[in-house]
Amino acid sequence: MATNKQNYTPAIVVMFALFFMIAFVTNFAGSMGVIVSAQFGASKALSQLGTLANFIAYLCMGIPAGIILKRKGYKFTALLAVIIGFIGVGIQWIAGPAQSFLVYVVGAFVAGFSMCLLNIVVNPLLNTLGGGGNKGNQLIQWGGSCNSVGGTIAPILLGYLIGGSTQTATVKDAAPAMVIAMAIFAVAALIIALTNIPEPHMETPEEKAARKAGKIEKDPHGPLSFRHFVLGAIAIFFYVGIEVGIPNTANLYFSGLEWVGPALTGTMIGAYWFCMMIGRLGGGIIGGKVSSKAMLTTVSIVAIVFLICFMCVAPRPAVEPDCCCEKCCEATEAVCENHCCEAAGEQTCDCEECKEAEEHKCSGNHECCGECEECEAAQECEECAAAQECKECEECECCCDKGNGIVVNIFGKTIPLALIFIMLCGLCTSVMWGAIFNLAAEGLGKYTAPASGIFMTLVCGGGIIPFVQNVIADKVGSVQSYWVIVVCLCYLLFYALVGSKNVNKDIKVD
């Protein structure tokens, strides 16, 4: 008798879409830092609260999510995840008309619960839908590619929604992206609800009865009994912070530079995530020939080199966006920071003579019509006269940014070389997760499953490390804050060379 084989194609397509959404929503929170900084006047650190809230949800939900998956199964957990995701993005959308920073952060936190649940579900579920083996692994690799595409699109889309300047950016500008996200979640929920999904790993009635009767024997050991796993879990914490901190801080910093802007910055940050996709594909090709230890060692060293190069060639604005009048910044002579009096620093002179003047000299020899009120006030400003004596930027803090760093011209676009180094870091971060996981899970045997839950909990580093980095950025500047990331990379290098060795082989794992 012929048997009907269940068609899982719709569910597989939905899992691919959810892989996409994990990266899209996560990177969306990072890119939103540019908007909340402009609309709500948030500091660099506070602009990362959305990302922090998103990842702190992993800390709260990592282990409970694994328990829900075991007791309720794939279908229930996946459906719960997309419903929570819809609600989380919806709350962030409400933050636009409500003009509330708090509402946005709450929405990011709720969305974080969804991302954690989805991360717990999508990998094993795709493997199950593919029937395991090579087919299951192939589906996971395709899902990973969709994840990278989502991570690439999020900063690019948001950059173009903001436009050429961050000064007028609001949460409302991101509304189209949020509507798209909610629509995908809604369709995904419908398809999951209508699809029959196999549940080979869900708790059996016998296991449930034994659990409730308290007859489950407790193991004296666990993943935390292994030193190399503990150090590996810390490495995962640092790694996710590295992966998120590198693009998030760069996005916030370069979007605020008028000659770069959010559109170009968003494109380059998108290229960082695209490089991660390329790196993952390359890592898959060479993964069978190169050890995880060698791979993690190499990419950690290269990433450190890239970031040091970034800090050496990055633009160095003197006084960030509190610059004086734009005419001063266009002048052929540098003007000191103290050229910021109300008369000159905020003058709105519209006379044609002033606009056409070769040099904007706000002093007694101000060569313009001299008839408008702004010009008359400027001539009386003693600070303007003092500013005239400043000839070299190096002698004082100028209100004009003449430190653009090293730039390159690509397809007619002037791009900071520093952003190129940020983009290339994506090639390094792409293979770190897999390498760390393999090293940390080596020799765990039956403890591998609970170890995965701990790993998922420590993904919260993706919110904590960028927040710490930007607290430091508020004190010493965005460029110098990348030393935080360099220190984290040094730990990964230590783990690859020393900490990954299993010194607890005496513990039985079968």
- d(Cα 314, Cα 317) in Å, to the nearest integer? 10
- What's the rounded Cα separation, in Å, for the pair 24 and 26? 6
pLDDT at 456 exceeding the cut of 70 = yes
Other beta carbons within 10 angstroms of residue 19's beta carbon come to 26
Residues 6+ apart with CB under 8 A from 214: none
What is the signed CA dihedral for 374, 377, 378, 382, rounded to 10 degrees? -160
Tell me what pLDDT residue 164 has: 61
Do 500 and 440 meet the contact criterion of CB atoms below 8 Å apart?
yes
Query: How far apart (Å, rounded) are the C-alpha atoms in residues 442 and 383?
Result: 67
Quote the CA–CA distance of 180 and 277 in Å, as a whole number. Answer: 23
Hey, which bits of 398-462 come out as E strands? 407-410, 413-416
Side chain identity, residue 153: I
> Whole-angstrom Cα distance, residue 8 to residue 322?
57
Predicted structure pTM score: 0.70
Mean pLDDT in residue range 116-140: 74
Question: Which of 95-104, 335-344, 496-505 shows the lowest mean pLDDT across its residues?
Answer: 335-344
Average pLDDT value for the chain? 76
**Residue 410 bridge partners (DSSP):** 413
Instruction: Centre a 10 Å sphere on the Cβ of residue 487 and count the other Cβ atoms it contains.
Output: 11
Task: Provide the token pair at 396.
Answer: 């004082």
Beta-strand (E) ranges in 73-182?
Answer: none
Tokens of 505: 């082989």
- The answer for residues whose C-beta is within 8 angstroms of residue 421's C-beta and 6 or more apart is 306, 307, 309, 310, 313
Strands (E), 175-286: none
Tens digit of pLDDT for each residue in 132-178? 666 665 677 677 778 888 888 888 887 778 766 666 777 777 888 88
Which residues lie across from 415 on neighbouring strands? 408
pLDDT tens digits for 171-184?
777 888 888 889 88
Confidence of residue 465 (pLDDT cuts 50, 70, 90): very high
Same CATH topology for 8-203 and 223-317+403-510: the answer is: yes
Q: Which two tokens stand for residue 141?
A: 């690799």
pLDDT at 263: 81
Contact criterion met (CB below 8 Å) for 426 and 273: yes
Q: Which two tokens stand for residue 412?
A: 């007619």
Of 371, 393, 385, 389, which is closest to residue 341 (Cα–Cα)?
A: 385
Amino acid at 232: G
Measure the CA–CA gap between 340 and 67, rounded to whole angstroms. 60
Maximum average pLDDT range among 40-54, 121-135, 358-372: 40-54
pLDDT for 406-427, tens place per residue?
877 777 778 889 999 999 999 9
Angle between helices 448-457 and 227-255 (to 10 degrees): 30
pLDDT at 252 exceeding the cut of 60: yes
Distance of CA 314 to the CA centre of its chain: 20
Annotated domain spans of the chain: 8-203, 223-317+403-510, 330-395
CATH architecture of 223-317+403-510: Up-down Bundle (1.20)
The DSSP 8-state label assigned to residue 217 in this structure reads P
Four-residue CA torsion sign, 341, 345, 351, 356: positive
pLDDT band at 242 (very low <50, low <70, confident <90, very high): very high
Identify the residue with better confidence: 344 or 163: 163
CATH superfamily assigned to domain 8-203: MFS general substrate transporter like domains (1.20.1250.20)
Q: Which of 96, 492, 107 is nearest to 297 (CA)?
A: 492
Hunting for tokens 């996981």 — which residue is that? Answer: 437
- Separation CA 282–CA 502 (nearest Å): 28
**Whether the predicted pLDDT of 495 surpasses 70:** yes
Characterise 230 by phi-psi region: left (phi > 0), alpha (psi -120 to 50), beta (else).
alpha
